[in-house]
Amino acid sequence: METTLRGVGVSHGVAIGEVRHMGTAVLEPPAKRIPAEDVEREQGRARTAMEAVAADLIRRGDLAGGDAQAVLEAQALMAQDPELMADVERRITVGSGAEHAVCDAFAAYRALLAGAGEYLAGRVADLDDVRNRIVARLLGVPMPGLPESDEPYVLIARDLAPADTALLDPSLVLGFVTEEGGPTSHSAILARALGVPAVVALPGAGELAEGTMIAVDGGTGEIFVNPSKEKTERMAAEAAERKASLAASTGPGATSDGHRVPLLANVGGPADVPAAVEAGAEGVGLFRTEFLFLDDSEQAPSEDKQVEAYRQVLEAFPEGRVVVRVLDAGADKPLDFLTPADEPNPALGVRGLRTLLDHPEVLRTQLRALAKASEGLPVQLEVMAPMVADRRDAKAFADACREAGLRAKFGAMVEIPSAALRARSILREVEFLSLGTNDLAQYTFAADRQVGAVSRLQDPWQPALLDLVALSAEAAKAEGKSCGVCGEAASDPLLACVLTGLGVTSLSMGAASIPYVRATLAQYTLAQCERAAAAARATDTAEEARGAAQAVLSGE
């Protein structure tokens, strides 16, 4: 009998196939006491396993490239963490075997993160995966990972580690469903980058029996269990029609009456550029520069290394716009040489621009590198600061840009509610705004963006979040300046229309989402988008907002 389940759709598309479950490693090896003469041998086994796992994660990152590479390199740093290794060795010294010492040391670190309010819940999931890989290597059992199958399938997992998501083969993994995660979790972001339909935060997903036929709608978040033949045929036909529509949609982003809305790409480094160019991106709306700093957590990359990486991206869009976000370190992206290790709540501490202003030499080097990288190129370079709270922050960043001799537009990211509420004040110091809706939602609703239990508050359709977007866009219009969206909200085609109606002047997203957004925008006039935006803001819940916008645009 057909039944319907609903999670959170995070990556568009339809997947129809049989269920296969993610394999897991043994999490709790049996405790054993070792004699004193085995201590050195067990410590050596632990060190070797941790180093091997780190090397494997780096290799996987090199193969995946882009955002996935940065995430996997961050995981590799966990496996190489000297404090964790020291704790493992200490536990072995007092009699634990290597396997159990690793489990206990990682459990203690996990508890430490949970005690900090679980802001790092996404990193906790990554930490669990690193632990499982190390223990599996020590025990000589298969690594956690994708199931072996000769036939395409829909993957089911409690959560997906970045190491697995990054190397998914879309020809074999039709889509995936997870019990945990949220719309801005690592797995969701990587799924959109790969163009794989995905649904997260579905309670009980693990109870779906192996081999069960399901149909997954990554747009609505619906899961149809044992769907009828008519249902699968209709969904497949709609998916084929959608694919044909996407292929026919080309050119710049615009509404049906010609109102231009540049569609830009979010990139994590040079490896993401080919997909962005192929998708027809009109430039880059968010160039995350963290990937350069994750290679070595002990020191910042040299100016020459930064120049080389930045120029590769700038050269790919000779006539376009490239918006670079300076280093956003702190919270879930700690760097040993920059971020304090003992903050009680890193999300509310020294992060983003605050970190850079505390370490002005790091900011100066990055700004000089960007200035050199753009020399002689016709590209429209724009540079923005993360986590701007007020006009004082904006002025400090603009002054630093001028002092570095950077000939570019200076902007501020709106990720903190205070920045949206005082957007006109901030725009007296900078030339544009860019809304990071992931963090803006997190701080607006006090809802960790990595925790599935609060994913409804991370829904970018929340009317309160739309109100903050509207405030920012109205302020930019009043000042004669631009206001884009570079958060994951821009990747939702229907929401892209609403954002346009709110007055947003550009949309930036993962390359795989650009064709969907371009095709949808082209179906409606600016006036229709404005009416849809007003209808969404007049509601009280995300579900009502989405329904109201859909009703307006469908002419109901």
In degrees and rounded to multiples of 5, residue 17 shows phi and psi of 180, -175
Helices (H), 8-159: 39-64, 66-79, 82-93, 98-115, 121-139
Cβ burial, residue 210 (10 Å; 0-12/13-18/19+): exposed
- 3-class DSSP state for residue 452? helix
Token couple for 534: 């007003």
Q: Residue 253: enclosing H or E segment and its boundaries?
A: none
The dihedral built from the CA positions of residue 342, 347, 352 and 353, taken in this order, carries a sign that is negative
CA distance 549 to 194: 28
- Is 497 assigned a catalytic role? no
CA distance 543 to 183: 15
- Is 486 assigned a catalytic role? yes
Give CA angle at 469 (463, 471), nearest 5°: 105
401, 486, 497, 529: the catalytic one is: 486
CA distance 513 to 485: 14
3-state helix, strand, coil in the chain (%, to 5): 50, 15, 35
Buried/exposed 48-76: b ≥16 CB within 10 Å, e otherwise: ebbeebbebbbebbeebbbbbbbbbbbbb
186, 401, 483, 497: the catalytic one is: 186
Which phi-psi region, left, alpha or beta, contains residue 486 (left: φ > 0; alpha: ψ -120 to 50)? alpha
Count of other CB atoms within 10 angstroms of residue 24: 16
Q: Are strands 321-325 and 153-157 parallel, antiparallel or unpaired?
A: unpaired
What residue has token string 């060190």? 47
In degrees and rounded to multiples of 5, residue 384 shows phi and psi of -130, 155
Catalytic residues: 186, 486
